[in-house]
Amino acid sequence: MIGLMNDNKPLLRAYSIASPNCEEHLEFYSIKVPDGPLTSRLQNIQAGDHILIRPKPVGTLVFDALLPGKRLFLMSTGTGIAPFASVIRDPEVYEKFDQIYLLHTCREVEELRYGIDLVQSVHDNEFLRVLANGKLHHLPAATREDYKNTGRIDAWIKDGRLAKLADGDLTPEIDRVMICGSMAMLETLKEVCKTLGLDEGSNSMPGQFVIEKAFAE
């Protein structure tokens, strides 16, 4: 939870930490809402300004909630890519999985730029590029503009395009899925995963897929 003081009261919102846990700084990714109670002010802060942050992070997009697997699918829309900015820059993910697929869907092509630059930064990193080489795959797609990839993630799963990209359909035996995005997207992909035989996981009972409940609830 991060925020600012507003009329002597803390105004806080949930944000995913986008920086990997090995970094000494915290990084966040947000859209700019002109009339948003928090973002209208947060987007104007300068270096040296103070913000509020609660000391204890919470969330469900953690490896402990997933059973061991071979392929990891990170499914996101919009700013839902933020937690996966942390995951793909965490060396541990390349030790745990043979293949990592980052799926990022936005309405407009320009909104995909953060993810494109993010993946490029991994390949440019002297240490991470060795780990990610041949393992990290990126699928950016737009839903309202012409682009090389179009359509929602559930459509890619149902019509077989994702299976073609990943050399095989999603299966409970080898695949693990993390999902972060809008409420509608979370519900849709949760049902898709269940239909494919994947069970939702938690820290107490790991499964084959997890969704980010901090925003859903």
Largest CA distance in the chain: 55
135, 99 contact by CB (below 8 A)? yes
pLDDT tens-digit readout, 10-39: 999 989 999 998 899 999 998 888 888 998
DSSP calls for 33-99: -TT-TTHHHHTT--TT---EE-S----S-SGGGB---SEEEEEEEGGGGHHHHHHTT-HHHHHH-SE
Cβ-Cβ contacts under 8 Å for 8 (sequence gap 6 or more): none
pLDDT tens-digit readout, 149-183: 999 999 999 999 999 999 999 999 999 999 999 99
Q: How is residue 210 written in tokens?
A: 């997890």
- Please count the other Cβ atoms lying within 10 Å of the Cβ belonging to residue 57: 14
Q: What is the pLDDT of residue 32?
A: 84
> What 8-state DSSP symbol labels residue 104?
E
**What is the average pLDDT score of the chain?**
94
Q: What is the pLDDT of residue 185?
A: 95
Q: What is the pLDDT of residue 198?
A: 98
Answer yes or no: is pLDDT of 214 > 80. Answer: no
Q: What angle do CA 95, 211, 137 make, to 5 degrees?
A: 45
pLDDT tens-digit readout, 32-60: 888 889 989 998 999 999 999 999 888 88
**Domains of the chain, CATH where assigned:** 63-216 (3.40.50.80)
Answer yes or no: is pLDDT of 216 > 90. Answer: no
